[in-house]
């Protein structure tokens, strides 16, 4: 699992028609897409996925936003995937993100920041499992 990470193209980026550009960026940076699906999370799903942030002041805003429209969920593979994907997306706040990062190019704001990336190998396994079965991943090998 250490070479896998989980990504979301968030509702702001889908709404702004950046899905294609972001998928292109994923492939250009040599991530292999193991599985991908367009989905519209329910509020309960968003609350479950972001359970780690429960109790934080932005939790309600975050879960409302993530259930506000369709998003792409993706399982990605690359050597050192978690760290590489975090580097590719940039800082949480697009105002702090480096030039050339996905958030710098496509994020709307701190809350609506275009993409998600797992923060550890442990969480990447949990997050991939939240949306994909093993069979769906294997089917793409």
CA triple 135-137-81, angle to 5 deg: 150
Minimum distance, C-beta of residue 116 to Mg ion, in the bound complex (Å)? 7
Q: Is 77 in the site for Mg ion (CB under 5 A)?
A: no
Strand partners, 72: 9, 38
Query: Nearest-CA neighbor of 70 among 17, 136, 123, 134?
Result: 17
Give yes or no for residue 83 binding Mg ion (CB under 5 A): no
CA of 11: how far to CAs of 7, 14, 67, 74, 134, in Å?
A: 13, 5, 8, 14, 25
- Partner in contact with 125, chosen from ligand ADP, Mg ion, none, beta carbon below 5 to 8 Å by kind: none
Answer yes or no: 116 catalytic: yes
Which is the catalytic residue, given 25, 40, 53, 116?
A: 116
- The SS3 assignment for 11 reads helix
**Shortest spacing between CB 52 and ligand ADP, in angstroms:** 7
Q: Which residues bind ligand ADP (CB under 6 A)?
A: 53, 58, 61-62, 92, 110-111, 113, 116, 119
Closest CB 58 distance from ligand ADP, rounded Å: 4
| Residues annotated catalytic, as ranges | 116
């Amino acid at each position: 699992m250490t070479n896998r990470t989980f990504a979301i193209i968030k509702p702001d980026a889908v709404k702004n028609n950046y899905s294609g550009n972001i998928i292109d960026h994923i492939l250009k940076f040599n991530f292999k897409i193991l599985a991908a699906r367009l989905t519209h999370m329910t509020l309960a799903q968003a609350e479950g996925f972001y359970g780690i942030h429960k109790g934080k002041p932005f939790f309600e805003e975050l879960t409302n936003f993530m259930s506000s429209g369709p998003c792409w969920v993706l399982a990605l593979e690359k050597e050192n995937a978690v760290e590489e994907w975090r580097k590719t997306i940039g800082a949480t706040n697009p105002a702090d993100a480096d030039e050339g990062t996905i958030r710098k190019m496509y994020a709307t704001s701190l809350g609506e920041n275009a993409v998600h990336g797992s923060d550890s190998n442990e969480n990447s396994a949990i997050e991939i499992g939240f949306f994909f079965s093993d069979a769906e991943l294997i089917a793409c090998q």
